[in-house]
Amino acid sequence: MCFVIVTSRSLLWSLLSIAVVLGHLIALGQPYWLIGESRSKYIGDHTNVTRPEGETSDQWSPSIGIFNSCRQLTKFYQLRLGLPDSIRCTIYTNNFSGIASGFWKASVVFYGIGFMLLSFVFCVAFISLCKRSICHKSIFTVSGFVQAVAGLFIIIALCLYPIGWGSESVKQVCGQDADPFQVGDCRIGWAYFTAMGSTVLLFVCSILSVQADISTSQDEIQDEINKGKSLICLFW
């Protein structure tokens, strides 16, 4: 018989664990890890060009992520014809070897390992509603350990990322002053902070998993099971 057991602490752990995975997924997919200074869309001898319909600003900011970037890709005649979306955000490489820096490649490897571990916890977060053990071990403590290990891998990835700021791709966005741990003319974007915040929350989940295990092992839970209930909710 399957028992669905929900407590406030186990539910909080599940929701935060899902939020962590989504946070890292959003951070990885965005090109806003480094954001360059604002630049004019209209350069050279074409400063008098009519602004395309729908354009609200003559300024744009290039940006770059681990494997994608936002750059001005259209030519002057496209602006003159009024074609929209003059800024393109695309993957700048189609293979692993094309990633901008060797340190970024290492960062992707460590981040990928951490994210795979988090994907495991993502699935476990749903299973934990009706299953309390894996291989005779508490499903929460196992998940908490996996989350801690994943957090260590992701921390390594986030520390390796700034070392790659001296690559040529970063210099194109941030200027020639860009070097390891020096962003040059850029600023750190919200995607990198999202990754950092999600990592902090990840360790909070790892600690909370202990409390989730305690809350689902209370005597009251066993009493409810003995009464024949299949859905047990204890919000304390």
Query: Residue 225 domain-assigned?
Result: no
Give the tens place of pLDDT for each residue, 160-174: 999 999 888 899 888
- Among 86-100, 106-120, 183-197, 209-223, the minimum mean pLDDT is found in 209-223
Q: Is the pTM of this model over 0.75?
A: yes
Query: Residue 156 domain-assigned?
Result: yes
Query: Residue 141 domain-assigned?
Result: yes
Nearest to 66 by CA among 43, 23, 98: 98
The values of phi and psi at residue 106, to 5°, are -65, -40
Give the tens place of pLDDT for each residue, 122-156: 888 877 766 666 667 788 888 899 999 999 999 99
Query: Residue 37 domain-assigned?
Result: no
- What's the CATH code of the domain at 129? 1.20.140
Alpha-helical segments (H) within 30-101: 76-80
Q: What total of structural domains would you count in the chain? A: 1
Query: Residue 69 domain-assigned?
Result: no
User: Taking 50 as the threshold, does the pLDDT of residue 46 lie above it?
Assistant: no
Query: Residue 130 domain-assigned?
Result: yes
User: Taking 50 as the threshold, does the pLDDT of residue 43 lie above it?
Assistant: no
Domain of 196?
A: 4-32+99-217
Query: Residue 44 domain-assigned?
Result: no
What pLDDT sits at residue 7?
76
Please name the residues in contact with 202: beta carbons below 8 A apart, sequence gap of 6 or more: 20, 118, 147, 150, 151, 154
Query: Residue 211 domain-assigned?
Result: yes
Retrieve residue 123's tokens: 């699935």
